[in-house]
């Protein structure tokens, strides 16, 4: 194991060898215990959606998985330093298909619809006074 030999105080007045500390590259990148998400939902109803809180770093790292979970109906709260910042929720689903031809017969296009705009309108679009 790599170590550093520079002395430093440990806050109690005694000296600690930096060689006693593990080198950052020697630390286990994947701890044996998984991160547990906190259920912050206060629902007594079993059909209520579940809400989990995820810290901002985990949300950035696992955004794809969180979006998938949200699309399946879960609500996920994203927090920074324990303070909720945002909520990831599924999009509302349309209950009925949108009818086609909703304004059929109510709107007419004039024969000059595709004609070039008059000069005064062009100047207005360009930000110039007419």
**What pLDDT digit, counting tens, does each position of 10-65 carry?**
555 555 555 555 555 555 554 444 455 555 544 444 455 567 899 999 999 999 99
> Which of these, 39, 1, 44, lies nearest to 21 by C-alpha position?
1
For position 76, what pLDDT does the model report? 94
| Confidence bin at 4 (pLDDT 50/70/90) | very low
Average pLDDT, the chain: 75
Distance CA 120, CA 127 (A): 11
User: Which two tokens mark 41?
Assistant: 């939902």
Distance CA 114, CA 86 (A): 46
Query: For the residues 99-116, what does the mean pLDDT come to?
Result: 88
């Amino acid at each position: 194991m790599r170590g550093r030999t520079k002395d430093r105080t440990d806050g109690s007045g005694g000296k600690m060898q930096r060689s006693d500390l593990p080198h950052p590259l020697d630390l286990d990148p994947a701890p044996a215990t998984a991160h547990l998400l906190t259920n912050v939902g206060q629902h007594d109803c079993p059909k209520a959606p579940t809400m989990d809180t995820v810290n901002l770093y985990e949300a950035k790292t696992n955004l794809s998985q969180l979006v998938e979970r949200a699309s399946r109906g879960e609500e996920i709260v994203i927090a920074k330093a324990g303070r909720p910042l945002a909520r990831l929720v599924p999009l509302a689903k349309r209950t009925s298909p949108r009818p086609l031809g909703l304004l059929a017969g109510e709107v007419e296009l004039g024969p000059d619809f595709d004609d070039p705009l008059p000069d005064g309108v062009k100047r207005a679009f360009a930000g110039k006074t007419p």
